[in-house]
Every structure is written in C-alpha cells, then in structure tokens.
Chain A
Amino acid sequence: MAFDKMELRDIEVWDGNFAAAQALRQAQVDVVAAYPITPSTPIVEGYAKFKADGYVEGEFVMVESEHAAMSGCIGAAAAGGRVATATSSQGLALMVETLYQASGMRLPIVLNIVNRALAAPLNVNGDHSDMYLCRDSGWIQLNAFNAQEAYDLNFVAFKVSEDHDIRLPAIVNQDGFLTSHTAEGVKTLSDDDAYGFVGDYKPMNDMLDLDHPVTHGVQTEEDWHFEHKARQHNDLMVKVLPKIEEAFADFENLSGRKYNLVEKYDMDDADVVVVCMGSSVETAREVALEMREKGIKAGVLGLRVVRPFPFMEIAEALKDVKAIAALDRSSPNGAAGMLFNEIAGALINIDTKALLSGYVYGLGGRDLTKAHLTDLFTELQANVDAGKLTTKQQQFIGVRGPKLSFL
C-alpha cells in the first residue's frame, strides 16, 4: 500500500486539534482506535479523513467506548505497531483503567488529551481536571501552551515513548477550546522531515513476531508486582527526562524551535513568579512583561513536562525567587492543588525563603483575564514587601460569590 505526501505551506493557520491530527499523519501512525468526544474529536476525525483520502497508511478502528479505544490501542501496540488516539474529560475517565494497563505493560502509545472539565455539572470547556485524573498512571505527560506546541510535542512524544530504553506511553495535553479550537499560525515540517525525526517504528517483544513468542499482560502477585512497579517508577525518574531533553535537542536541530523541561520566561532576576500550565502560560507571560514596565520583577514558569515531574529543574528555577504562585486549573477537592504540593516538595529541602501560595482558577473554561493576573502579580509583590503571606495559602481566582480562601 502506498500513500500520498501532502504539500504544506511553511506557516499554516491551524487550530490545536488539526495540528495534532497532522502530526499523527506525518508520523504515519499504524493504528488509531478511537471513540470521539468534545473537544478532542477533530484529532481522530482528521486522522480518519487523511486515511480515507490516501494520505496515511494505517487502520482506523471505530469502537464502542473510550475503554475499548485504549484497549484497542494496547492490543495494537502489543502486536507491534505505532499507535495513537485522542480523548477528553469523561472519555479519559472511562479510559483510566486501561491507562494503567498500557504503562504497566510498557507499551508505547501516544494519547492526545484535549483538556476539559469533569462532570458533574456537565461542561465541555477547558480545565485540567482530566490531566490531573491520570497523573499517577505511569504515562509520560507533556504540556502544550498553543497549537504550534501541540504539533511539535506529538513528534517528541512518539520518539521518547517508542525508544527501547523507555517503552512507556505518552500523553500530549492541550487546552480544550483555548488551544484545540484556536487557529494560529503553525510552522510546519515537511512530511519527510517529520517522519525522519520520528523514524521507523522499531518493534520490541511484538506479538506478531511469531518466531519469538511473548506474553503480555501477565499476573504477578506479591512475588513480583512490586519489582515491576518499582522498575517502571525508576525508569520514569531516571531515564525519561534525559531522553526528552535529547529529543528536544534533536527537534531544535530540525526545526529551530527550542523546548525545555520547564520553560522559563523573564526568570533571570524575577522576584515574583507565576507557575502554571497550558494556554495560561502565554497570557501570564504577556502580563509579566506589563508588570515589569510597572517596576515589578515578574516572571513565569511554564511546566512543559508534567510527568515525570521535573522536581530538580523546578527547584533550580525557583531557588532565588521571593514569592511564587502555583496555579492549578483543577479543583483539589479537599487538599492543596497539585502544583502547590509538587512545588512545595521541590523547595522544602533547599535553602530558599520563597513565599508559596496556591490558586485554583479557570474551572469549566472560566476566563483567566489579564486583569486577574495583574492582581495576582500585585498580590505576590505585596507578599514580598510584607515578608510574609498576606493571604491564606489557597485562593480561588474568578469565581463569583464571597471570596474563597483556605489553609
């Protein structure tokens, strides 16, 4: 079977979903098993259309649920193919059981999550509840702040996930609607360059290698279970971040676009810093520049890799900062936010006196405005000036009704 190549302009105006779909085409994914859900539907729809139009050589498997979608991906990955799918929100929630199967079986799969709120109440808009839901599932998690990055990070995800030293599935997160449905200029790679970067799929312990029979998905009780889990965690802690950095370096050589485990913006002399994920990183960058014109040394730290959590890099980036806001776009439901907790952990044993406060924002697609961020940086500066937190440790941004603060 042959397929046609597609001529792309150097800059195409794509939304995040179409950018991801184009990346799946250029990576020549062998199997996509998918069950559509807003706002991720156009990714798998795009792949299906590319396949129908003869631009990709692969299989599109229509299934009856997201649980079956990931199960199909697991089967195809075990069989020995390049595999990807996409989902959001409730779909991811139904998929969670199989996410742990995929990572435990050490199968490379790329999952695009277009981040969306979790019901109830039902909501199709963007927040990071679904990203957080699967954060301990053993998958690598990358985070795109815009459509360009949703495109680029898919290539990096395949390269890292399929590496024989890694063999772990990888998620590419992008914000529902704010990225997935926002059209922007996207700098493209040619089909040959993109495929050349990802490379041919190299099978490992594939079930279709009938001369070398293998078993996937075995049972281990207390005799071996812990060793398997410990080894998986070890590889995530030790091997994955260097491999991602290697892939980022190769990608920079190819495209000129540089990625880092944590993205630092105006951090060199920053006193007050916002740490966040997704499209909010870019809005915060713009506000940080405006704060600097007002004499406040503001910076932004964007988390490019969510799992494995870049603990040491975060500590290094924040060691000289005076006040930090950790922004979580997911309700912690009875705890401090994930970013607050992870950052607190990264900073507790270093010689820093940074004041750390946590903020919950943007649930169900609630707008994070520049005015919110201006107030936030101003509040951080007030903490610096007072030499202590002037607020409680956890606050909510942009929610109506009486001001909420905790801890």
Chain B
Amino acid sequence: MLEIRWHSRAGQGAVTGAKGLADVVSTTGKEVQAFAFYGSAKRGAAMTAYNRVDDKPIMNHEKFMHPDFVFVIDPALVYTADITAYDKPETVYIITTHLSSDELVASQPKLEGKKLYTVDCIKIAQETIGRAIPNTPMLGAFMKISNMYDIEFFKENMQRVLGKLPQKIIDANMQAIQRAYDEVK
C-alpha cells in the first residue's frame, strides 16, 4: 500500500490533484482511493488530501495514515501545518518552496534528517498556467522522485484527465508538469 498526504490550501487544487493521480494510476490496473478533508473551510484555509494505492481492493477508510509521501503545495504550510504528523523514517517529503533544501531545513528545524525534495510549484504554475495552482506540477515532481511512471506516459494520461479544460490550459499544465519533473531536487 502506497499512502500520500497532501498539505494544501482550499482552492489550490489538491483535491483535483489527488483525484487526477488516482485516475492515472487506476488505468494501470491498480486500486486507488483519493479523498480530502476540508469541512466547510473556505478558499485559503489549510486542508489535507490523501491518496492510497494498492494491488488489492482498498477497504481501509480511516483518515489516519503513516504517509509514504508528503506533498506540501503551499510554501507557508511548512510553518503553520503539522506536515510531519505520523511520519515514518522512510517518509519522503516534496515541498513547494523558493528556498533550497538547506535553507528550508534551517527555517523549519523539524525537517532536519527527513528525506526532503524541493521544487517551486507556485512559481512554475504562475509562469506556465498563469495562476498559482501548484497541483499538477507537484505530480510532475512526484513522477521524478518516485519513478512511478515514465513522464510521457503520465502526461499523456493527465491530458485525458484534464480533458474538459481548454486546450491552452491543458498545454500549460503539461509544461508545468515537465518543468517540475526537471527542476525538483
């Protein structure tokens, strides 16, 4: 079982990102679950979203998890949300920030010793999509770090997932995914 926790703000697209990832993974024959908790929170409120992936049907519906991956798609949540909650030694963090990993750890000491990767999904989204929607670039970074799928396969499937959007927006998302894939470190 692969378990992922997203830290996001309502409106940044974590739910869409989690569901998009689930959709792509499902096409490869795996079982998926994507869910989120935001109550009646309004745009900008801190929230979490979750993915589970397994080879057999996923029956566990508890919110609790020891995540394998933690995605942080809003830079400030590193300081205000409990992003290391219930982690384990092998938990991998992919964090949206303009800081280097060293600078990030210096500013948030509880990340010391964690498996940590950084990428500026906000900047990438602004420069490609034209809005600070950092969800799809995070998935590009995840493909690089996890080696889950070939990036071309992933982009091809994400084009289908994003199918209802205008082509211009889809193209921009593909650029954002590729840039995050290339720039995450």
Contacts and interface: CB of A to CB of B under 8 A. Distances in A.
Given A367-B62, A369-B64, A371-B64, 10 more contacts: A38-B40, A177-B36, A177-B37, A181-B15, A184-B32, A282-B61, A283-B59, A283-B62, A286-B59, A368-B62
18 contacts: A13-B32, A13-B34, A181-B36, A182-B33, A183-B18, A183-B19, A184-B58, A185-B31, A279-B61, A280-B61, A283-B59, A283-B61, A283-B62, A368-B61, A368-B62, A369-B62, A369-B64, A370-B64
Interface in B56-71: 58-64
Contacts of A261: none
Nearest to A265: B59
A38 B41 CA distance: 12
Interface string A235-264: 000000000000000000000000000000
Nearest to B58: A184
A178 interface: yes
B26 interface: yes
Contacts of A13: 19, 22-23, 26, 32, 34
Contacts, number: 67
Interface string B65-98: 0000000000000000000000000000000000
Nearest to B24: A13
Contacts of A160: none
B47 to A, nearest CB: 12
Contacts of A185: 26, 31-32
A283 B18 CA distance: 21
Nearest to A125: B39
A124 interface: yes
Contacts of B18: 183
Interface string A254-297: 00000000000000000000000001101101100000000000
B26 A11 contact: yes
A182 B35 contact: yes
B135 to A, nearest CB: 14
Interface of A: 11, 13, 15, 38, 124-125, 177-178, 181-185, 279-280, 282-283, 285-286, 365, 367-371
Contact of B60 (A11, A15, A124, A286): A286
A21 B36 CA distance: 20
Contacts of A370: 60, 62, 64
Contacts of A286: 59-60
Contacts of B23: 13, 183
Nearest to B25: A13
Contacts of B33: 182-184
Contacts of B32: 13, 183-185
Nearest to B18: A183
B98 to A, nearest CB: 31
Nearest to A283: B61
Nearest to A9: B27
A282 B60 contact: yes
Contacts of A369: 62-64
Contacts of A11: 26
A38 B39 CA distance: 9
Contacts of B26: 11, 13, 185
Nearest to A288: B59
Nearest to B23: A13
